[in-house]
Amino acid sequence: MPQIDAAWAALAKAADAARDRRIAGLFDAEPHRLSRLGVAAAGLDLDLSKQPWSLADLDAALRLARAAGVEAARDALLAGEIVNRSEGRPALHPALRAPPGADFHAAGQPVSADVDATRAAMAAFAADIASGRRKGATSQPFTAILHIGIGGSDLGPRLVWEALKPLDPTIDLRFVANVDPAELAQALVGLDPARTLVVTVSKTFTTQETLTNAEAARAWLRAALGPASDSHLVAVSASPDKARAFGVPSDQVFAFWDWVGGRYSMWSAVGLSCAIALGFDAFERMLAGAAAMDAHFREAPLETNAPVLLALAHLFNRDGLRRPLRAVVPYAQRLRLFAPFLQQLEMESNGKRVSASGGPIAHGSAASVFGDAGTNGQHAFFQLLHQGTDVIPVDIVAVRQAREGDPAAQRKLLANAVAQAEALMVGRPEAEVRAELEGQGLPAARIAELAPQRTFPGDRPTCFILLDRLDPQTLGALIALYEHKTFVEGVIWGINSFDQWGVELGKTLAVRVLAELEGGAAGAHDPSTAALIGKLTS
């Protein structure tokens, strides 16, 4: 049996044993559990002790990681080797957040000088906007930015702005992603074209949704300001010629490169809108936090490597215990977009059934991710987490110190985060519920009816991630943690985490359907699709 097959078999055996015990009991059986399953990295503290694995199970998971070649794959990623095999590209997003003067190479070609030059151009542009030196067509300073993108060109910057924006920002930053015209219409309400900068982010500058919104925004500017309004256009693209042909001035086109995957691109000029609105110092501190996590990922042994351990915990649940769902609950309102961000990062990267070599994969791949900010989620889907028929692991993210507001309210928030993790694990046995109801003097028939409903099975696992504060450094480290975690999972599953062919088919068919909706000849479709097109064109 090949080494990797033996490692998978050992993990399956460990998971079978885990089904016959409770997580809470492991703390008595393993005196060193807390120290072994807690790790600090780049300003984050991870507690993986409320996971269903024993320390022996963790060792089995680590052997699987080594058998899958995680260490060699990590080194190849950071060395800029071609890890996106289907598209023949490196995936060198760590180069984007390295300090100036780094020496990264993508497929053997030096890239750090280009990264440094683009970052310097971003800093200068951000300073010009902030100071008012760069003005609009009517010589007024810019006070608003409309950021247009979709997917990786939207989710990362939108998360960063929501997490870090000042309570009273000097720049009004708004985002448009959906081709639904309602989103753009809502984003434009109250904006003054003379003071608005439109930043269009598209790697290819051909994405239908993004170009549709960019054309509408350009028309809005021109209607108010005339042709001179093109000075309000900014583009971030790996296809600068297309951006210039769109009308963007050459000195307002910022590059990123084909070795940057879209969902890993917020560290590049894709983050320009945030760099302007937050201030470039904040953007650089976010890069530094991510770079600190990169260094930890590069240097820490697997046994104490935060992204590796988080990946193995998720994989033990997904593959060992056949749990295809995971909830992500940040107890921080500013991180409410973290779960949607992870949906793209994880589900687009690893939501695949075929390996990088073209064969079927033998194990489950990416879990389906959902979530919302705590405590809101407690009043929505936590009923399912506590008493549903499926065991759904939960990632809880909490922040020790609030940036604003009442410290007493922050303590209540933290109390809920800690209590939910405890409640999910320990549950509440029926005997305890019965004793309580008997103490209330309820009749036996009523107790028999109510006790099962008020029983909590417990044994629901959590990963608890604690940030001392939510600032640019810790946010950068948190996002990089999950980036590397996703990569590690892909390596173990044998998946290419850096392509996304699954998004292509629907987009291709939409072009054909659009032609029919606009009066073109009817195409060949299944009966249901043909009927829907008929309703929309009648």
Instruction: Look up residue 519 and give its two tokens.
Output: 């009066």
Whether the Cβ atoms of residue 251 and residue 102 lie closer than 8 Å to each other: no
| DSSP one-letter string for 29-40 | H-TTHHHHTEEE
Instruction: Look up residue 261 and give its two tokens.
Output: 């995957």
Pick the closest to residue 337 from 479, 167, 462 (CA basis): 479
CA-angle at 301, arms to 325 and 295, nearest 5°: 85
**H or E element in which residue 401 lies:** strand 394-401
Please give the C-alpha separations between residue 26 and each of 17, 35, 172, 245, 385, in angstroms, as whole numbers. Answer: 12, 13, 51, 63, 21
Upper half-sphere CA count for residue 482 (Cβ side, 13 Å): 27
Choosing from 13, 215, 303, 379, the catalytic residue is 379
Choosing from 348, 352, 484, 485, the catalytic residue is 348
State yes or no: is 518 an active-site residue: no
State yes or no: is 348 an active-site residue: yes
DSSP label at residue 355: -
What residues form DSSP beta bridges with 173? 145
Please give the C-alpha separations between residue 276 and each of 132, 143, 307, 346, in angstroms, as whole numbers. Answer: 12, 11, 30, 28
One-letter amino acid at 293 equals M
State yes or no: is 507 an active-site residue: yes
Instruction: Look up residue 183 and give its two tokens.
Output: 């989103």
What residues form DSSP beta bridges with 144? 172, 196
Whether the Cβ atoms of residue 148 and residue 199 lie closer than 8 Å to each other: yes
| DSSP one-letter string for 293-326 | HHHHHHHS-GGG-HHHHHHHHHHIIIIIS---EE
Query: Strands (DSSP E) along 98-232, which ranges?
Result: 105-106, 109-110, 144-148, 172-176, 196-201
- CB atoms < 10 A from the CB of 301, how many? 9
Q: Are strands 233-237 and 253-255 parallel, antiparallel or unpaired?
A: parallel
φ, ψ of residue 466 to 5 degrees: the values are: -115, 125
CA-angle at 11, arms to 303 and 38, nearest 5°: 30
Nearest-10 crossing angle of helices 208-225, 181-188: 40
What's the rounded Cα separation, in Å, for the pair 208 and 46? Answer: 40
| Positions marked catalytic | 348, 379, 507
